[in-house]
Amino acid sequence: MKTFIQTTLISCFALTALSVAAQDDAALLKKAKKIHEKAFTVDTHADTPMLLLRWI
Whether the predicted model's global pTM rises above the 0.75 cut: no
For residue range 1-56, list pLDDT tens digits in order.
778 888 888 887 777 766 666 667 788 888 889 988 888 877 777 777 776 777 66
Residue 40, sorted as left (phi over 0), alpha (psi -120 to 50) or beta, turns out to be: beta
Cα Rg of the chain, angstroms: 23
Measured CA to CA, the distance from residue 17 to residue 30 in angstroms comes to 20
Question: Does residue 47 sit in helix, strand or coil?
Answer: coil
